[in-house]
Amino acid sequence: MTADPVAIARDLIRCRSVTPDDGGALGFLQGLLEQAGFAVHRRVFSESGTAPIDNLYARFGVAKPNLLFAGHTDVVPPGNETSWSHPPFAGEVAQDMLYGRGAVDMKGGIACFVAAALDYLAAHDGKIKGSISFLITGDEESIAVNGTIKLLKWAAERGEKFDHCILGEPSNVETLGDTIKAGRRGSLNGTLIVTGRQGHVAYPDRADNPIRGLVTLIAALQAPLDQGSDLFDPSHLEFTSVDVGNVTVNLIPGQARARFNIRYNDRHTQGALKTLIEDRTKAAAGDRIRYAFEWQPSNADVFVTKPGPFTDLAVAAIAEVTGRTPKLSTSGGTSDARFIKDYCPVLEFGLVGQTMHQVDECAPVVDLVTLTAIYRRMIEKYFA
Ligand SMILES: [Zn+2]
């Protein structure tokens, strides 16, 4: 039996799995994996104020090492379906492209690693020197609280150990094989609040305008945070909103707020970064400006998978199949790799990301076939 990644991707696309709906996607995978001899577990996680979400963990074999493939079957909404040239949940192939929501992000990637694993197991009669596992969530695109983070914890509690993980998110920028994501920047949100004294605009001496103080502090926080590191670009603080909420023309407001986000590299921990920001603010404020910070809790800490045997294996597999040597990148937004990195080293490699989340999201059939061959080569090398 040869597993066809295009057929698997098509069948997954036909499941309407816009977060938090599953649309039958995990059931379809469960059937496929059970048929191939995987032990499959389904777990629904919930939390007050959030929709319950279905998740899947499957494992073939019990021995070490356990190579984990991770991904998500949920997708972002299609937007206006009539603006698609092929319906977003039909999985149509036209001009050698597979169309549909999730074709790239990331039902296509899941189809490729499932097909690669099934092919490898069939070729070796199910006898492998370790285990292959799949950790698939339905909660990545939205708030991501009832997905990978809880599924990993559940798996660890039942004694599952992971040695290495490949997350099949679309990692390539332009061509299949150009980029592996080997880490991600951290993300931290905060609000800076300056308090003054409200008053009549014609009598500024009786008031204290907090906007002046806020402007001073915003300017002070524009200074660079670092010069980057071996594997990361410089960290960056960006103000996203300045709010006074004053609708009155003759009133000096009593308070002004500015919201900001920091994307930070491995030169900082979250705690040290907060201290750095607060120290700079304190120096700029002197004893003239009264201010406070509100920091939002963040579960998106910086991480990096250092170059070594595992990254070498992935790079070699990609080079052997495509002739391209991928670069190890840490750019872009966050992903579930931020949770997986607490359990084992993780790399992200999948399709080319260009059409993800867009109308007419699509993946070239040739890329699905090539990505399957790459994953197949990675598995071969891993258990060699
Ligand atoms: Zn994704």
| Distance in angstroms (rounded) separating the CA atoms of residues 355 and 335 | 17
Report the separation in Å between the CA atom of 109 and the middle of ligand 1, taken as the mean of its atom positions: 9
Active site residue: 11, 22, 54, 74, which one? 74
pLDDT at position 2: 65
Record the tokens describing residue 11, joined without a space: 């069948």
Phi, psi of 348 (to 5 degrees): -115, 125
Distance 63 CA to ligand 1 centre (A): 30
CA of residue 129 to ligand 1 center, whole Å: 30
140 part of the active site: yes
Q: What is the structure's pLDDT at 192?
A: 98
Nearest alpha carbon to residue 92 among 10, 24, 8: 10
Q: Assess contact for 130 and 33: CB atoms under 8 A.
A: no
The values of phi and psi at residue 287, to 5°, are -105, 15
CA of 112 relative to ligand 1 center, distance in Å: 15
Which pLDDT does position 143 carry in this prediction? 81
Q: Is 160 a catalytic residue?
A: no
Dist CA 160 CA 155 (whole Å): 5
Catalytic residue selected from 11, 140, 169, 208: 140
Tens of each residue's pLDDT in the chain, 384 residues: 468 999 999 999 999 999 999 999 999 999 999 999 999 999 999 999 999 999 999 999 999 999 999 999 999 999 999 999 999 999 999 999 999 999 999 999 999 999 999 999 999 999 999 999 999 999 999 888 999 999 999 999 999 999 999 999 999 999 999 999 999 999 999 999 999 999 999 999 999 999 999 999 999 999 999 999 988 999 999 999 999 999 999 999 999 999 999 999 999 999 999 999 999 999 999 999 999 999 998 888 899 999 999 999 999 999 999 999 999 999 888 889 999 999 999 999 999 999 999 999 999 999 999 999 999 999 999 999
Residues 139 and 45: their CA atoms lie apart, in Å, by 10
Task: Report the side by side order of strands in the sheet with 93-94.
Answer: 93-94, 97-99, 362-364
166 near 349, Cβ under 8 Å? yes
